[in-house]
């Protein structure tokens, strides 16, 4: 049994990782300031409230626990927002990660698994993207993740850190238990927006761009179930028990779905004839992102279990139709309202 720090463990992928670590018999400590995560997701392990931007908080945390490794999910991840506020993304995604790595070095914690992204590649030059595909991010979000990957390479070489960077493509779905799932506010991801609309929620969702160089003119993405991603992280930790240096893996199914195909799949699974309008492209969106998962399979023994889009959507629909999801969102709305009132009162005072 090992003790792992999960940064961002109250978030979407981080909470599923905590559940997976717990099931594997490990001790879990979550570092999360709940700025985007949910208190209701803190079902496994201990929670330490704070941000990785605060180096003193991290030192206190590392003094309190003897960590065997760190899994880092705490990041800003909205492409469009990163185009509007690049410095915020570099501060939180890059500078804060340097804080974390610096404290790890002080306390001689060597194992590090990093949540990266397919956004590091930019516009693809091949139908399937392998790890050696050129990296040319089209937005500050992708570039911030690529910067951290380079920092990790240099840190592994200089300080003996052992690191894995997992470049996921599109995380989707929810744990079949219905205990946890995706609950962003605002929601920007396609599948949860479609599923929430199918469940009767008044949510704005559109097909962004119909003139891409794809078969039906809409963007093509590789969707990976969140539990499959959690499994890959656990395998990455096991890999670092004997592997030294920096290792990078693409996590995808090798099968791309266009936006129109996803819309049709949600209609089929939900039985709802949802009407989705079309609009212009979003800045920073590549046309086609599909992974080659051969390296992850060969080295980590990883392959996605959720291979059908319908199965992924079914878990998402189950979660977004649940009372737990509605309670999470109501709690977030109440906290936001209270914060706005406090700000207004402060301004008036």
Per-position pLDDT tens, the chain of length 349: 899 999 999 999 999 999 999 999 999 999 999 998 999 999 999 999 999 999 999 999 999 999 999 999 999 988 889 999 999 999 999 999 999 999 999 999 999 999 999 999 988 888 899 999 999 998 999 999 999 999 999 999 999 999 999 999 899 999 999 999 999 888 889 999 999 999 888 889 999 999 998 999 999 999 999 999 999 999 999 999 999 999 999 999 999 999 999 999 999 999 999 999 999 998 767 888 899 989 999 999 999 999 899 999 999 999 999 999 989 988 877 765 555 454 554 545 5
In a domain, 212, yes or no: yes
Q: What is the pLDDT of residue 177?
A: 94
In a domain, 108, yes or no: yes
In a domain, 343, yes or no: no
Chain mean position to CA 79:
13
Q: In which domain, by residue range, is 33 found? A: 3-328
Question: H or E stretch including 3?
Answer: strand 3-7
In a domain, 347, yes or no: no
Neighbour-count burial for 1-20, b at 16+ CB within 10 Å, e otherwise: ebbbbbbbbbbbbbbbbbbb
- Give 3-state DSSP helix, strand, coil % of the chain, rounded to 5: 45, 15, 40
Q: What is the pLDDT of residue 342?
A: 47
In a domain, 213, yes or no: yes
The enclosing domain of 111 has a CATH number of 3.40.50.720
Q: What is the pLDDT of residue 44?
A: 97
Number of folded domains in the chain?
Answer: 1
In a domain, 344, yes or no: no
Q: Which of 4, 89, 141, 306 is catalytic?
A: 141
Q: Can you name the residues that pair with 208 across neighbouring β-strands?
A: 279
Q: What is the pLDDT of residue 127?
A: 85
In a domain, 348, yes or no: no
Q: Can you name the residues that pair with 221 across neighbouring β-strands?
A: 257, 289
- Beta carbons of 245 and 157 less than 8 angstroms apart: yes
Of 89, 102, 93, 88, which is closest to residue 72 (Cα–Cα)? 93
Q: What is the pLDDT of residue 343?
A: 52
Determine whether 141 is an active site residue.
yes
In a domain, 333, yes or no: no
Q: What is the DSSP letter of 134?
A: P
């Amino acid at each position: 049994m090992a003790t792992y720090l999960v940064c961002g463990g109250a978030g979407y992928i981080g909470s599923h990782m905590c559940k997976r670590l717990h099931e594997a018999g490990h001790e879990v400590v979550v570092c999360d300031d709940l700025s985007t995560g949910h208190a209701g997701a803190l079902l496994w392990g201990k929670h330490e409230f704070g941000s990785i931007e605060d180096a003193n908080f991290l030192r206190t945390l590392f003094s309190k626990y003897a960590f065997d490794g760190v899994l880092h999910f705490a990041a800003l991840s909205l492409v469009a927002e990163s185009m509007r506020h690049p410095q915020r993304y570099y501060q939180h995604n890059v500078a804060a990660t340097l804080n974390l790595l610096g404290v790890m070095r002080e306390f001689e914690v060597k194992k590090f698994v990093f949540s990266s992204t397919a956004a590091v590649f930019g516009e693809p030059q091949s139908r399937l993207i392998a790890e050696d595909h050129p990296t040319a991010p089209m937005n500050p979000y992708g570039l911030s993740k690529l910067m951290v990957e380079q920092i990790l390479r240099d840190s592994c070489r200089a300080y003996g850190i052992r690191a894995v960077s997992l470049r996921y493509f599109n995380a989707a779905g929810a744990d079949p238990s219905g205990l946890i799932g995706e609950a962003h506010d605002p929601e920007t991801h396609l599948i949860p927006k479609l599923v929430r609309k199918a469940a009767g929620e008044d949510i704005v969702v559109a097909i962004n761009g119909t003139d891409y160089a794809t078969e039906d003119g809409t963007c093509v993405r590789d969707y990976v179930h969140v539990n499959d991603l959690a499994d890959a992280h656990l395998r990455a930790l096991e890999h670092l028990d004997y592997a030294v240096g920096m290792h990078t893996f693409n996590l995808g199914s090798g099968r791309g779905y266009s936006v129109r195909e996803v819309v049709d799949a949600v209609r089929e699974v939900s039985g709802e004839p949802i009407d989705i309008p079309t609009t212009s492209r979003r800045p920073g969106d590549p046309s086609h992102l599909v992974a080659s998962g051969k390296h992850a399979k060969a080295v980590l023994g990883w392959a996605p279990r959720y291979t059908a889009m319908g199965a992924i959507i079914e878990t998402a629909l189950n979660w977004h139709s649940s009372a737990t999801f509605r309670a999470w969102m109501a709690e977030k709305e109440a906290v936001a309202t209270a914060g706005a009132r406090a700000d207004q009162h402060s301004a008036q005072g």
